[in-house]
Copies of this chain bind each other. A is one copy, B any other.
Amino acid sequence: MVTTLKPQLGANPERARSHNKQLVLRAIRHVGTAGRAEIARASGLSTQAVSNIISDLLREGLLVEQGVRSAGRGLPVQQYAIKPDGGYAFGVEVRPTAVFIALVDLVGTPLLTQRTPLVDAQKATILDTVSAQLDDALSKTHVPKALLMGAGIVMPGPFGDTGLTGADSELPGWNTGDPAESFANELDLPVFVENDANAAAMAERMNGVARGLDDFAYLYFGQGLGLGLVQNGQAVQGAFGNAGEIGHITVIVQDRPVELETATSRLSVQAYLAGQGVTVTDMDDLNSLYSSANRHLLVWLDQAAQALSSALSIIENLFDPQTVILGGAMPDDLLDHIIAHTVLPERSVANRPDRTHPRLMRGTSGRMTATLGAAALVLHQAFTPTIAEAR
């Protein structure tokens, strides 16, 4: 049982500067627009240091001047903001039958999103497709590759050979070797790999309802159900990258134990409705069933809300999050309905009067949630000071 120490780097002037740059960017991003003195106070650096760093960032094109603001006495504040076209992030979501991509700018605005079907799900095919899609996206948007800060990849887990191996959502050929390395070699970019739920959570943290939150959970409706966890501002990956496999735990619905995923997921609603003679193939079908108040759908929603209540109890008591977000490939109306009908457990550490956020919120929904989340991984990294983490 030999354990190797996680590599961590020492601080030297160069790494310190890089850390401080990210710290300044993060501070500006958080308030939208800020002046030197304000940043200095927030970061414990001298005004002079912040001044030097900002002039660096201006030269690198990551910041823009944003006019002056005179707030009370003293010299008016020269303000700075993130320059949207100062950098770009590429997001990729790999599914067994198609690849989704998104190109977003430094503030998270999507410039382009698209879907490409896969002829097969072999590793080589996927790598080639993603590479071609990157070139395509860059040429369509006229973004120079030099401004691309990295690629975020969302892939269906679990990673490696586990007790869940054999599930139908998997891709062949990825269980050996490090997927991040394969993509990094193919795309010649820094690569960040995550599961869909964590990526969606990071998207919500960068530009959604979880802006600025450091501890929250995200229940992602995909094929199955995934749990994204953010602790201390970082996505929780677990020792082998497979944290958040909440779909297979047992919950109580109508006094009977069931696997959570069989009660609440896209497959689950399809299967249930099929059993009642109703066929749904996409989100639009679900939407129209819901607007016509389909009886079977309402029954399913009711039991999904019950299952969710149990899941919520587990998540809240184990993580004590600021909030739990519900989102993913499920229509807004259905998510809202589920949220409205979910009983918030009384006996929970989250049941406290001094909350700033609701216990359960709806996040971004729709097909591109995870893809945009993939791009958010890159942005997150750009705005997170890390002096010590070796890559």
- Would B163 and A245 count as touching, CB distance under 8 A? no
> What residue in chain B is nearest A323 (Cβ atoms)?
B239
A313 proximity list for chain B (CB < 8 A): 248-250
A236 proximity list for chain B (CB < 8 A): 231, 319
The yes or no answer to A357 lying at the interface (CB within 8 A) is yes
- Would B232 and A347 count as touching, CB distance under 8 A? no
With the chains together, A346 CA to B390 CA distance in Å?
34
- Would A349 and B250 count as touching, CB distance under 8 A? no
- Chain A residues packing against B (C-beta within 8 Å): 1-12, 15-17, 19-20, 23, 26-27, 30, 42-45, 49, 157-158, 160-164, 211-216, 227, 229, 231-234, 236-246, 248-252, 255, 257, 310, 313-314, 317-322, 345-354, 356-357, 385, 387-388, 390
A2 proximity list for chain B (CB < 8 A): 356
- Pick the residue among B44, B252, B321, B352 that contacts A10 (CB under 8 A): B44
Q: How far is the CB of A212 from chain B (nearest CB, A)?
A: 3
Q: How far is the CB of A49 from chain B (nearest CB, A)?
A: 7
A318 proximity list for chain B (CB < 8 A): 227, 229, 243-246, 249, 314, 318
- Would A238 and B11 count as touching, CB distance under 8 A? no
With the chains together, A305 CA to B52 CA distance in Å?
61
Given contacts A19-B387, A162-B351, A348-B163, contact A12 B49 (CB under 8 A): yes
Given contacts A43-B9, A44-B9, A45-B10, contact A350 B388 (CB under 8 A): no
- Would A354 and B231 count as touching, CB distance under 8 A? no
> What residue in chain B is nearest A310 (Cβ atoms)?
B250
- Would A7 and B242 count as touching, CB distance under 8 A? no
With the chains together, A61 CA to B238 CA distance in Å?
37
- Would B212 and A5 count as touching, CB distance under 8 A? yes
Q: How far is the CB of A170 from chain B (nearest CB, A)?
A: 13
> What residue in chain B is nearest A15 (Cβ atoms)?
B11
With the chains together, A313 CA to B322 CA distance in Å?
24
Given contacts A16-B16, A215-B239, A387-B387, contact A10 B319 (CB under 8 A): no
- Would B164 and A348 count as touching, CB distance under 8 A? yes
A161 proximity list for chain B (CB < 8 A): 352-354
- Pick the residue among B5, B10, B249 that contacts A314 (CB under 8 A): B249
- Would B6 and A214 count as touching, CB distance under 8 A? yes
> What residue in chain B is nearest A44 (Cβ atoms)?
B9
Known: A11-B16, A255-B257, A318-B318. 18 other contacts (CB 8 A): A1-B356, A3-B356, A5-B42, A10-B49, A160-B354, A161-B353, A162-B351, A163-B345, A163-B348, A163-B350, A163-B352, A227-B318, A232-B234, A238-B321, A240-B349, A243-B318, A245-B320, A245-B349
With the chains together, A349 CA to B237 CA distance in Å?
12
- Pick the residue among B6, B163, B317 that contacts A347 (CB under 8 A): B163
With the chains together, A345 CA to B42 CA distance in Å?
47
> What residue in chain B is nearest A388 (Cβ atoms)?
B385
> What residue in chain B is nearest A31 (Cβ atoms)?
B5
- Would A241 and B320 count as touching, CB distance under 8 A? yes
- Would A252 and B249 count as touching, CB distance under 8 A? no
A249 proximity list for chain B (CB < 8 A): 313-314, 317-318
Given contacts A12-B45, A49-B12, A252-B250, contact A215 B232 (CB under 8 A): no
A20 proximity list for chain B (CB < 8 A): 10-11
- Pick the residue among B1, B23, B227, B320 that contacts A243 (CB under 8 A): B320
